[in-house]
Structure 1
Amino acid sequence: MRIFAVLVSKALPYIRINKSGGDADDILRFFNCPIVRRKKTVATNILASYKNWRKYRETYSELMRLTSRELNDLGINRGDITQIAKQSAGY
C-alpha cells in the first residue's frame, strides 16, 4: 500500500484535476509519468520472467517423466534435459 501511495504522490504533478473529474488526457498523463512507467516496466519484466520460468519447469518436468527408452527414441540423453528446457524457455 505504501508503494502505491508513493507512486501516486510522485505522479500527481502529471495529473491535471478539473471540476468535471478529469478526462482521458489526465489518465494518459498519469501513465506517462516516469515513475509509473518504471514501475509498469518492472512489473512487466517480473511477469515475463515468471512465464519463462514456468515454461522451463513444464518442459523439464515433461522430459523427466519420459523413460530412458523414449528419450533415446527422441535422441535426447537424460543429462541434456536441463539444457533443452532452458533453450525452450529462451534462457
Structure 2
Amino acid sequence: MKKRKIPMRKDIVTGEMAPKKELVRIVRDKENNVAVDPTGKMSGRGAYITLDVDVAKKAKKDRTFDKVFETKVDDTFYDDLISYVDHQQARRELFDNGKA
C-alpha cells in the first residue's frame, strides 16, 4: 500500500513545522474579522497555531495575530482561542490515551 503524504504547516508562534492535524487554523476574512477555523475551509487569509495552551497564551502575550494579519485583534478573540485550544488539547489527550 502506498504511503500517503502528511501535509505540514508552520506554527506562526513557535516557527516549527507540524502535521496539519496537530494545528488549528486562524483566519482573517475580507472585513478583517479574525476567527478560529476548526474545519480549515473558511475563506480568507489563514495562519496556524499548535494545539497547546502555552503557545496560545504566548500568542496573546505577544499579540501575534495582530502582527500576522496586520489588524487590531480583540482580547476576547485571544481568550476564546485559549479556551478552544484547551478544550481540543483535553479531547486529544482523552481519546489518544483511550487508543493505546
TM-score, with normalisation over the residues of structure 2? 0.30
Higher helix share: 1
Query: TM-score, length-normalised on structure 1?
Result: 0.33
Hey, which of these two has a bigger chunk of strand by percent? 2
Q: Report which of the two structures shows the higher radius of gyration computed on alpha carbons.
A: 1
